[in-house]
Amino acid sequence: MESRFFRTRDGLRLHYLNHPCLSPVSAVADCKSYCILLHGFTNDAHVWDGLASELQRTHHVIALDHRGHGDSDWDPEHKYSHWQLADDLQDFLQEFGDATVHIVGHSLGARVALLALESMRSPRGSVRNNIATLTLVDAGPEVSAEAGERLVNDVMRLPGSYADLPAYLDSLSRIYVMADTEALEHVASFGLRISQGMLRAKSDPAFTPGIWHKNPEFRALRKDKGELSEQIWNALGSLDLPVHIVRGQASSILEPGLAVKMMKVLGSRGELSVVPRAGHAVMLDNPVKSVALILNFIEKFTDCAEKLEGLICREKELESRV
């Protein structure tokens, strides 16, 4: 795993984690596909470390920090909106040329992916044919007012600074009440930076009002295209690729009825999985089951050559332990 950076069209440096394919064959010929992982609101690329370690057996894995998150630049103009993040993602995807790409997005990352793919549709109406699959982790076109307000309030109540890492972890544990202890500790260990002599969270405080469109300029930004939820519904319906909906069993963000409605829109292109003992943050709440479900879906659409490379990699790993 190594840190790399990508420059956006407006000059910001976005950070991403590169997890190279582990297959021994890749030393001669690169793995054939990439998995692009997009985190949710106030998380960062490290929330995917567990999934990335499995996916990189047969894929190159790239976990992006959205602007204002992780080790990416904060936007001095506070251009934080779904549409801005979708523009960033479109530009980022151009970096992978014609390579096969699987996209996995959690929450905000999933909604941004849908908007980006909608904008990338060809004149014939189809998404670029190198996008193989899309996995939507506990996200839908709509968020109930109650659940959305609770999410925003949880973030707004977080302290501006922390005495030490345990204090930060304690704050996170009050939000991620179902989280696996080890998974939450891992994410917390990457979540702070020193600013003005104090330990502060890496997420830009200005991101919350921007992404939830609390500011009038953001509410009017794409008004000509309709409400944001309407745009995301349209994007979902326009997809012509396999889509995996992963829902936390106890989630109040992606409610059962909404997941069913999404499946009806997708028809035969859709697949729904429910992660037991998990709320909205499925990767933190039940890391083992969520990784298995996401991995199994992507493997269905991975060609035989890549699967063979992964098998060789596993065999070599077992031999090294003997």
Amino acid symbol at 37: L
User: For residue 218, what are the contacts with CB-CB under 8 A and spacing of at least 6?
Assistant: 80, 81, 210
Residue with token string 């904060």: 74
Question: What's the rounded Cα separation, in Å, for the pair 221 and 130?
Answer: 30
| Higher pLDDT, residue 245 or 153 | 245
Average pLDDT over every residue of 46-63: 96
Given this structure, which CATH class describes domain 2-144+215-321?
A: alpha beta
Is the pLDDT at 60 greater than 90? The verdict is yes
Q: What is the pLDDT of residues 117-146, one digit of tens each?
A: 998 865 544 455 689 999 999 999 998 777
Is the pLDDT at 226 greater than 70? The verdict is no
Residue ranges per structural domain of the chain? 2-144+215-321
Per-residue confidence (pLDDT) for residue 215, from 0 to 100: 52
Q: What is the pLDDT of residues 138-194, one digit of tens each?
A: 999 998 777 777 877 777 788 889 999 999 999 999 999 999 999 999 999 999 999
Lowest mean pLDDT among 29-43, 97-111, 129-143: 29-43
97-124 burial by CB neighbour count: b if 16+ within 10 A, else e?
Answer: eeebbbbbbbbbbbbbbbbbbbebeeee
Average pLDDT over every residue of 29-46: 87
Amino acid symbol at 268: S
Lowest mean pLDDT among 171-175, 197-201, 213-217, 247-251: 213-217
Per-residue confidence (pLDDT) for residue 315, from 0 to 100: 41
230-236 long-range contacts (CB < 8 A, ≥24 apart) are: 230/141, 231/115, 231/118, 232/111, 232/114, 232/115, 232/140, 232/141, 233/141, 233/265, 234/118, 235/114, 235/115, 235/117, 235/118, 236/114, 236/141, 236/262, 236/265, 236/266
Is the pLDDT at 306 greater than 50? The verdict is no
- Six-digit token string for 261: 């409605």
Q: What is the pLDDT of residues 252-299, one digit of tens each?
A: 999 999 999 999 999 999 999 999 999 999 999 999 999 999 999 999
Q: Give the confidence band of 109 by pLDDT, cuts at 50, 70, 90.
A: very high
Cα angle: 118, vertex 124, 126; to 5 degrees = 40
The gap from C-alpha 297 to its chain's centroid, in whole angstroms, comes to 16
Per-residue confidence (pLDDT) for residue 311, from 0 to 100: 41
Is the pLDDT at 216 greater than 60? The verdict is no
Share of the chain above pLDDT 90, in %: 66
Per-residue confidence (pLDDT) for residue 53, from 0 to 100: 96
User: For residue 77, what are the contacts with CB-CB under 8 A and spacing of at least 6?
Assistant: none
Per-residue confidence (pLDDT) for residue 196, from 0 to 100: 83
